[in-house]
Copies of this chain bind each other. A is one copy, B any other.
Amino acid sequence: KRTPLRKTKDYVEGVLSGDRTILSQAITLIESRRDEHRELGRDILEACLPHAGKSVRIGITGVPGAGKSTFIESLGRHLIEKKGKRLAVLTVDPSSSRSKGSILGDKTRMPVLSTSQKAFIRPSPSSGSLGGVARQTRETMLLCEAAGYDTVFVETVGVGQSEITVHSMTDFFLLILIAGAGDELQGIKRGVMEMADLIAINKSEGDNRQAANRARLDYQNALSLFPEPPSGKRAEVMTCSALNNKGIVEIWEQIEEYLEYVKQTGFFSENRSDQSVHWMYETIHEQLKKIFYGNEEVKASLQEIREKVRSGEISSTRAADDLIRLFKSS
Residues of chain A whose beta carbon lies under 8 Å from any beta carbon of chain B: 42, 45-46, 49-50, 53, 135, 138-139, 142, 181, 185-191, 193-195, 218-219, 221-222, 224-229, 273, 276-277, 279-285, 287-289, 292, 305-306, 309-312, 314-321, 323-324
A306 to B278, CA, bound (A): 10
Residue of B nearest to A269 (CB): B312
Given the complex, which residues of B lie within 8 Å of A305, measured CB to CB? 280
A199 to B232, CA, bound (A): 25
Residue of B nearest to A187 (CB): B227
Given the complex, which residues of B lie within 8 Å of A187, measured CB to CB? 227
By the criterion CB–CB under 8 Å, are A315 and B186 in contact?
A: no
A41 to B282, CA, bound (A): 32
A143 to B193, CA, bound (A): 38
By the criterion CB–CB under 8 Å, are B227 and A318 in contact?
A: no
A277 to B317, CA, bound (A): 10
Min CB distance A125 to B, Å, is: 14
Min CB distance A131 to B, Å, is: 11
By the criterion CB–CB under 8 Å, are A190 and B186 in contact?
A: no
Min CB distance A308 to B, Å, is: 10
Min CB distance A3 to B, Å, is: 23
A193 to B323, CA, bound (A): 36
Interface centre among A45, A181, A320 (most CB of B within 10 A): A320
A106 to B286, CA, bound (A): 41
Given the complex, which residues of B lie within 8 Å of A53, measured CB to CB? 312
By the criterion CB–CB under 8 Å, are A324 and B287 in contact?
A: yes
Residue of B nearest to A312 (CB): B53
By the criterion CB–CB under 8 Å, are A195 and B190 in contact?
A: yes
Given the complex, which residues of B lie within 8 Å of A142, measured CB to CB? 315
By the criterion CB–CB under 8 Å, are A323 and B190 in contact?
A: no
Min CB distance A316 to B, Å, is: 4
Contact flag A135-B42 (CB < 8 Å), given A188-B227, A277-B310, A310-B273: no
A246 to B84, CA, bound (A): 63
Contact flag A279-B227 (CB < 8 Å), given A284-B292, A310-B273: no
By the criterion CB–CB under 8 Å, are A309 and B185 in contact?
A: no
Given the complex, which residues of B lie within 8 Å of A181, measured CB to CB? 224-225
Min CB distance A128 to B, Å, is: 15
Min CB distance A13 to B, Å, is: 19
By the criterion CB–CB under 8 Å, are A320 and B284 in contact?
A: yes
Given the complex, which residues of B lie within 8 Å of A135, measured CB to CB? 317
Min CB distance A248 to B, Å, is: 24
By the criterion CB–CB under 8 Å, are A324 and B284 in contact?
A: yes
A310 to B275, CA, bound (A): 9
Given the complex, which residues of B lie within 8 Å of A229, measured CB to CB? 190
Q: Which of B139, B188, B227, B309 contacts A186 (CB 8 A)?
A: B227
Min CB distance A83 to B, Å, is: 26
Given the complex, which residues of B lie within 8 Å of A287, measured CB to CB? 320-321, 324
